[in-house]
Amino acid sequence: MPPFSVFSPAKLNLFLAVTGRREDGFHELVSVVAPLALGDTLTIEGWEPGARGGGEPDFSLACDAPGVPTDESNLVLRAARAFQLASGWTGGAHFRLEKRIPAGAGLGGGSSNAVAALRALNRLAGEALGAHRLAEVAAQLGSDCPLFLHAGPVVMRGRGERVEPLPAEVAARLTGRRVLVFKPEVGISTAWAYARMAAEVPLHYLPVAAAEGRLAAWRERGAPAEELLFNNLEGVAFRKFIVLPVLQEVLRNEFGLVARMSGSGSACFALLPAGLPVGPVAATLAEFLGPGAFVRDTVLG
């Protein structure tokens, strides 16, 4: 099969309620997540079983972004091995990753890349895995992975493995909304953020009944996307990365925008009203965050 490319979108947690810690160390959550038009591109060149000479690796990876590992620690290659084990397919592939999603951002770049690899390999293997089995393999790779098997906004529950697409009339309040995503040069470790939250029990957790109640009320009222926004991981992250709450206040006071952090950060976002010029907002963010900041105008998928 000739090489082909798969889009690997970033995601935003529009609503993220971490509700508690499980006995296995993972955290339970309720989250509304939407993909972005912003994303990476994964190109795959595959070969059939037996087409490679002895001693050559089954899978390899190249990436255009400095510092991104291309060895077996990368989720793309881990996904390839997981697919091989689950499907029994004995072919191989070379992946080329064009990276546009920043690392340490809470935008799900690594998880999205892993699912892009699963989808691409499943196509190469003649759809060897059905949708349910593919979701099981994705869940083994990471808590954020299953959501990327869906094209639109979803609700995640459990540690992320239970994914429910939003009904079309609810998703319509989100899909196509313009959003400005911004991130300082520094990233936030997901493991660090959740460990800090666990160390301060029960200060930051939101009980599951309260989380589900907030989500249900938003759905039933037909409220706009702005009224959904919530993230209780901000309480942990903002004490260390103080520029983020400062920017929340600046965007609120100068432009009337509500900004929230996505996932464990450090990326944040603000939904943009129709007709609002993005230039002054982006300039203000760049002034605070410096020349190495990530600032992108995109839309929710």
Taking Cα atoms as reference points, which of 294, 271, 41 lies closest to residue 176? Answer: 271
Q: Is 183 a catalytic residue?
A: no
DSSP string for 231-274? ETTHHHHHHH-THHHHHHHHHHHHH---EEE-TTSS-EEEEPPT
Distances in Å between the Cα of 17 and the Cα atoms of 114, 178, 226, 259 are 24, 23, 16, 16
Q: Is 11 a catalytic residue?
A: yes
CA angle centred on 88, ends 43 and 73, rounded to 5° = 50
Q: Look at the block and give the residue holding tokens 């929230």.
A: 260
The residue type found at 201 is: V
The one catalytic residue in 24, 40, 99, 144 is: 144
Taking Cα atoms as reference points, which of 125, 122, 153 lies closest to residue 135? Answer: 122
Q: Is 56 helix (H, G, I), strand (E, B) or coil?
A: coil
- How far apart CA 277 and CA 301 sit, in angstroms, is 21
Q: Which residues contact 89 (CB under 8 A, 6 or more apart)?
A: 49, 83, 121, 124, 125, 128
The one catalytic residue in 11, 40, 99, 183 is: 11
- How far apart CA 158 and CA 23 sit, in angstroms, is 13
What sign does the dihedral 50-51-56-57 (CA atoms) show?
negative
Catalytic residue IDs: 11, 144
